[in-house]
Chain A
Amino acid sequence: MAMSKEEVEAAIIEKAKKAPKPQLYIKDFYKCAPDMKPRQIKNIANKLVQKGELMFWSSGSTTMYARPDRIKDEEGSEGIN
């Protein structure tokens, strides 16, 4: 049975909390809802940013997602190239 939107949100948050690295690519969330199309998952992840559950982390060329409490503040961010 297909997962509800709320179930996918919860799975994405769980993944962002427990993943070894704090920053995740959008593709890392695809497995949270294998039956869903990537664009739907992207929309759910971006809604979670609006709700403050996730945040964007950008290297300038690539954008990743992270839990706000797992990322250091701006002055301390290390950055990736």
Chain B
Amino acid sequence: MAKHDTPMLDELEKGPWPSFVTDMKRQAETHPECWDILGQLELSYEDKITHWKHGGIVGVFGYGGGIVGRYSDVPDRFPGVEHFHTVRVNQPAGLYYSTENLRALMDLWDKYGSGMTNMHGSTGDMILLGTRTENLEPLFWDLTHDLKQDLGGSGSNLRTPSCCLGESRCEWACYDTQDICYALTMHYQDEIHRPAFPYKFKFKFSGCANDCVAAIARSDFAVIGTWKDDIQIDQAAVKEYVAGNYPSNGGSHKDGDWGPFNLKKEVIDLCPTQCMWMEGDELKIDNSECNRCMHCINVMPRALRPGKEKGATICMGAKAPILDGAQFATMIIPFIEVSKENEYENIIDVIERIWDWWMEVGKNRERVGETMQRVGLPTFLSVMEVEPIPQHVKEPRSNPYVFWKEEEVPGGFERDIVEFRKRHAA
């Protein structure tokens, strides 16, 4: 029996699509506080303003992240959501769960919280929605001691690292994404659990340029698998694709009426750098022009494979819109080896170089991508000790000025600024 009238929310149960309102009503049968979420949300629709107070001093002892405080600003009317804190649980690398683990987590959340979840949050964590302050420490104890799981990052912490499923299932993975994700999660426990930075900082690891965790769009530090040498070609398999004996895209589109496979139309003409052509019945690639986008490999997986000399590209500075608009990451390091043999020492070295700089130069609540934008890419590259290359240049014609430092010019130059200003006022 509904505790509050919710005529506007009830509208959202109509139509063929799944409805969160229906889900919450079902959940309210066992967790009555869910009626108060619906009641408060209906009130928000009426008032056209949120009734959540955001933030506060909740947390578990020793941690400065992992719990996000939520309080109702109308607790007298909706006591079930007086406290409604969010708990972020560090997800397993590649999002592999056993059903036993999922059941244990849900039992735990039924015991201490509303039973409502968000699988997963955009950072990657499992999000447990809605509990009271007094439940936090017992929940944390059971989570860490019985389930051997930990909270994720929130606030100005390193956020929970996330990765694609990598070598565990994907033959295109150019490095072991799950291993580096786990290794860096353990290496940076302090940064994940306690605030460290001017604002949030996210790592994401994708095994190839298909970028299944969307690292390039939503992480400050995206490690995206790539290769240095030539794409591996099996010419016999190319012929099979041309003959229509192998389905394109691994058979993903076989149920549609797309007509016979057309290698020129579907692969060669769609290559972003136009680096492919046919010579007789052989496929040729100018690998020096290839930008490793993965399109041709996706279409003809039995004929083409990534090269053998594998590693990753590091892109930095992506973010969702908060201060400025949304921003894609900028490629900073075209190729870096990713090796568990050296415990990812070279990646850690790059990460800490950025952190040391950003902690000093970054403003409060400024993502590293915004700091990069503010100082400009040439300055950022010099901070990172990276030599500029043509691929760093995004818009060559938008800024025609090139500034040279004295040490960069053979023979140097002398410049008397006082003399110069006599002729050119500032």
The yes or no verdict on A and B being binding partners is yes
Residues of A within 8 A of B (CB): 25-27, 30, 37-39, 42-43, 46, 49-50, 55-63, 65-66, 71, 73-75, 77-81
**Cβ distance A70 to chain B, nearest Cβ, rounded Å:** 11
Q: How far is the CA of A76 from the CA of B195 in the complex (A)?
A: 23
Q: How far is the CA of A37 from the CA of B360 in the complex (A)?
A: 8
In the complex, which of the residues B133, B194, B360, B363 contacts A74, with contact meaning CB atoms closer than 8 Å? Answer: B133
Interface: B196 (CB within 8 A): yes
8 contacts between A and B (CB under 8 A): A26-B196, A27-B364, A39-B356, A42-B359, A46-B195, A58-B65, A73-B57, A80-B55
Interface residues of B in 164-220 (CB under 8 A from A): 190, 194-200
Interface: B254 (CB within 8 A): no
Q: How far is the CA of A42 from the CA of B188 in the complex (A)?
A: 14
Interface size on B, residues (CB 8 A): 38
The 8 A-B pairs at the shortest CB distance, nearest first, are namely A63-B155, A59-B55, A63-B195, A38-B359, A77-B56, A79-B55, A56-B64, A60-B68
Q: How far is the CA of A46 from the CA of B65 in the complex (A)?
A: 12
Q: How far is the CA of A49 from the CA of B200 in the complex (A)?
A: 19
Inter-chain contacts of B68 with A (CB < 8 A): 58, 60
In the complex, which of the residues A39, A55, A58 contacts B196, with contact meaning CB atoms closer than 8 Å? Answer: A39
Inter-chain contacts of A27 with B (CB < 8 A): 198, 363-364
Inter-chain contacts of A46 with B (CB < 8 A): 64, 190, 194-195
Q: Type the 1/0 row for B49-67, where 1 means its CB is closer than 8 Å to any CB of A.
A: 0000111111100101101
Most chain B CB inside 10 Å of its own CB: which residue of A30, A38, A50, A74: A38
Residue on B nearest A24 in the bound complex, by CB: B364
Contacts A39-B196, A77-B53, A81-B55 supplied; 20 other A-B pairs, CB < 8 Å: A26-B198, A27-B363, A37-B356, A39-B355, A46-B64, A56-B57, A56-B195, A57-B55, A60-B69, A60-B154, A61-B155, A62-B200, A63-B64, A63-B156, A74-B56, A74-B58, A77-B55, A77-B57, A79-B56, A81-B54
Residues of B within 8 A of A (CB): 53-59, 62, 64-65, 67-69, 71, 82-83, 86, 133, 154-157, 190, 194-200, 322, 355-356, 359-360, 363-365
Inter-chain contacts of A60 with B (CB < 8 A): 54-55, 68-69, 86, 154-155
Residue on A nearest B59 in the bound complex, by CB: A56
Interface contact A62-B365, CB-CB below 8 Å: yes
**Cβ distance A7 to chain B, nearest Cβ, rounded Å:** 21
Most chain A CB inside 10 Å of its own CB: which residue of B71, B83, B133, B157: B71
Inter-chain contacts of B57 with A (CB < 8 A): 55-58, 66, 71, 73-74, 77
Q: How far is the CA of A23 from the CA of B190 in the complex (A)?
A: 21
Interface contact A77-B64, CB-CB below 8 Å: no
**Cβ distance A62 to chain B, nearest Cβ, rounded Å:** 5
**Cβ distance A12 to chain B, nearest Cβ, rounded Å:** 14
Interface contact B64-A49, CB-CB below 8 Å: yes
Interface contact B69-A74, CB-CB below 8 Å: yes
Q: How far is the CA of A78 from the CA of B365 in the complex (A)?
A: 19
Inter-chain contacts of A73 with B (CB < 8 A): 57
In the complex, which of the residues A25, A43, A65 contacts B364, with contact meaning CB atoms closer than 8 Å? Answer: A25
Q: How far is the CA of A60 from the CA of B83 in the complex (A)?
A: 15
Inter-chain contacts of B56 with A (CB < 8 A): 57-58, 74, 77, 79
Inter-chain contacts of A43 with B (CB < 8 A): 190
